Amino acid sequence: MDIIFIPLLSIINYIIGIYVWIVIAHVIMSWLVSFNIINANNNFIIMFLQFLYQITEPVLSKIRRILPFFGGIDFSPVILIIFLWFIQEVIERLKLKIIMVGGV
């Protein structure tokens, strides 16, 4: 069973890592657009921003509903990244436990 379970956990861990980078890209791109550093009228930029928004907004909006308002500062990406890092650590510990015990 561990022959399937450990690689599956590794794939889930990699996907979570990629999602963390997508959240970071979303935050950076939103800053760049807010400060007029990049042109938001460019079609490629619009497509990229829409992609980032569609991927991250469903999760971030749920976190925003729980968090109190901090005067225009959005802490939801930070909370999400910390939660994803926690999940990654749990997955790593689970993989180590499976390896130590010798199976599920």
Residue 59 tokens, joined: 């999760």
Q: How many CB atoms lie within 10 A of CB 25?
A: 15
State the sign of the Cα–Cα–Cα–Cα dihedral 55, 82, 27, 68.
positive
Classify burial at 23, counting beta carbons within 10 Å of its beta carbon; exposed 0-12, middle 13-18, buried 19 or more.
buried
Cβ atoms of residues 81 and 75 within 8 Å:
no
Instruction: Say how many C-beta atoms besides its own lie within 10 A of residue 86's C-beta.
Output: 10
- Predicted pLDDT at 1: 66
Structural domain boundaries of the chain?
A: 2-101
Instruction: Report yes or no on whether pTM surpasses 0.95.
Output: no
Tens of pLDDT, residue by residue, the chain (104 residues): 678 899 999 999 999 999 999 999 999 999 999 999 998 899 999 999 999 999 999 999 999 999 988 888 899 999 999 999 999 999 999 999 988 887 55
